């Protein structure tokens, strides 16, 4: 599980610089959390720092199961 950015995001970019794992990216389509990199800030802070910095409550917990994308098979 991880966090995701909801539609209330204003694309300010504050969370991008705050994430200790560089898990948040600002893309043309919006700001996105790379779920494979998000550790929920466990061992880094008492609570997710991206949520602390987001002034509009756009970052929400996402319980949707997911599978990492497998790398392409070698030759
Ligand atoms: S919860 Fe922590 S690790 Fe996950 S995206 Fe937010 S700041 Fe990054
Ligand atoms: S801090 Fe909040 S409003 Fe700003 S880019 Fe991140 S999710 Fe969006």
From the CB of 5, is ligand 1 less than 6 Å away?
no
From the CB of 24, is ligand 1 less than 6 Å away?
yes
Residue 24: other Cβ atoms inside 10 A: 22
């300010």: which residue's tokens? Answer: 12
């970052």: which residue's tokens? Answer: 59
pLDDT tens, position by position, 6-38: 999 999 999 999 999 999 999 999 999 999 999
- In this structure, CATH architecture of domain 2-60: 2-Layer Sandwich (3.30)
From the CB of 54, is ligand 1 less than 6 Å away?
no
Kindly tell me if the per-residue pLDDT of 73 is higher than 80: no
Please report, for the chain, the start and end positions of each structural domain, with discontinuous segments joined by +: 2-60
- pTM for this structure? 0.84
Arithmetic mean of pLDDT, 39-68: 90
Phi and psi angles of residue 24, each rounded to the nearest 5 degrees, phi first: -110, 130
């Amino acid at each position: 599980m991880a966090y995701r950015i909801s539609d209330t995001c204003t694309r300010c970019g504050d969370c991008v610089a705050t994430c200790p794992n560089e898990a948040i990216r600002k893309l043309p389509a919006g700001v996105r959390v790379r779920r494979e990199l998000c550790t929920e800030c466990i061992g880094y802070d008492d609570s997710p720092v991206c949520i602390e910095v987001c002034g509009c409550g756009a970052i929400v917990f996402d319980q949707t199961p997911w599978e990492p994308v497998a790398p392409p098979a070698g030759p």
